[in-house]
Amino acid sequence: MSRKIRYHDLREFLSIVDSLGELKTVSRLHWDKEMGALTEMVYREKPVDSPALLFDRVPGYPDTYKCLYGMLASPRRFGLAMGLDVGGEISRMDLLQAYRARMKAMSPVAPRFVGTGAVMENELEDEAVDLLKFPVPIHHELDGGRYIGTACGVITRDPDEGWVNVGTYRVQVIDKNRATVYISQGKQGRIQRDKYLKSGKPCPVIVVAGIDPHLYVAARYQVPLKLSEFDFAGGIAGEPIPVIEGKYTGLPFPANAEIVLEGEISPDEKVPEGPFGEWNGYYAGSKKTEHVMKVKRIMHRNDPILTCAASQRPPHSHLFERCFIRSAGLWEKLEKADCPSIKGVWVHEAGSGRTFNVVSIKQEYYGHSRQAALLASQLPPAGYVNRFTVVVDEDIDPSYLYDVIWAMGTRCNPEADIDILRKNWSSRLDPLTFTDELYNSRAIIDACIPYEHRDDFPKIAQTSPEYKKLMMDKYGTLINEIVGKS
Q: List pLDDT tens digits, range 127-143.
A: 999 999 999 999 999 99
Judge if pTM exceeds 0.75: yes
| pLDDT tens track for 222-239 | 788 889 999 999 999 999
- In 3D space, the residue among 276, 419, 370, 360 whose CA is nearest the CA of residue 97 turns out to be 360
Phi first, then psi, for residue 171 (nearest 5°) are -130, 115
5 pLDDT more than 80: no
Contact status, residue 326 vs residue 95, Cβ threshold 8 Å? no
Cβ neighbours, 10 Å, residue 451: 15
Query: What pLDDT score does 68 carry?
Result: 98
25 pLDDT more than 80: yes
Least confident of 84-88, 295-299, 419-423, 479-483: 84-88
User: Concatenated DSSP letters for 384-395?
Assistant: SS--EEEEEETT
CA 149 to chain CA centroid, nearest Å: 14
Distance CA 4, CA 84 (A): 7
CA 201 to chain CA centroid, nearest Å: 30
Mean pLDDT along residues 51-73 = 97
Least confident of 93-107, 156-170, 411-425: 93-107
Mean pLDDT along residues 431-439 = 85
Query: What pLDDT score does 1 carry?
Result: 47
Q: Which residues contact 437 (CB under 8 A, 6 or more apart)?
A: none
Query: What pLDDT score does 4 carry?
Result: 59
Distance CA 118, CA 255 (A): 6
pLDDT category of residue 206 using cuts at 50, 70 and 90 = very high
Report the share of the chain in percent with pLDDT over 70.
98
User: Concatenated DSSP letters for 207-234?
Assistant: EEEE--HHHHHHHHS-PPTT--HHHHHH
Binning the chain into helix, strand and coil, the percentages to the nearest 5 are 30, 25, 45
Q: Which helix (H) or strand (E) segment is 193 a member of?
A: helix 188-198
Mean pLDDT along residues 274-302 = 93
**Domain 10-307 identical in fold to domain 337-453:** no
84 pLDDT more than 50: yes
Distance CA 148, CA 467 (A): 56
Phi first, then psi, for residue 334 (nearest 5°) are -60, -45
Residue 435 or residue 298, greater confidence: 298
Residue 84 or residue 121, greater confidence: 121
| pLDDT tens track for 347-378 | 999 998 899 999 999 999 999 999 999 999 99
CATH architecture, domain 10-307: Roll (2.30)
Least confident of 107-121, 218-232, 326-340: 218-232
How do the domains of the chain map onto residue ranges? Answer: 10-307, 337-453
2 pLDDT more than 50: no
| pLDDT tens track for 175-187 | 999 999 999 988 9
Query: What pLDDT score does 248 carry?
Result: 97
Residue 220 or residue 271, greater confidence: 271
220 pLDDT more than 80: yes
Query: What pLDDT score does 96 carry?
Result: 86
Query: What pLDDT score does 133 carry?
Result: 97
Contact status, residue 307 vs residue 10, Cβ threshold 8 Å? yes
- In 3D space, the residue among 309, 307, 332, 329 whose CA is nearest the CA of residue 319 turns out to be 309
CATH architecture, domain 337-453: 3-Layer(aba) Sandwich (3.40)
CA 87-89-90 angle, 5° bins: 95
Query: What pLDDT score does 336 carry?
Result: 93
User: Concatenated DSSP letters for 390-427?
Assistant: EEEETTS-TT-HHHHHHHHHHH--HHHHEEEEEEEE--
Question: Could you give the strand order of the β-sheet that contains 52-56, starting from the edge strand earlier in sequence?
Answer: 23-27, 52-56, 66-69, 305-307
Average pLDDT, the chain: 93
Distances (CA, A) of 474 to 318, 422, 468, 471, 479: 42, 55, 10, 5, 10
> Can you say whether residue 312 is alpha, beta or left, with left for phi > 0 and alpha for psi between -120 and 50 degrees?
beta
> Can you say whether residue 126 is alpha, beta or left, with left for phi > 0 and alpha for psi between -120 and 50 degrees?
left
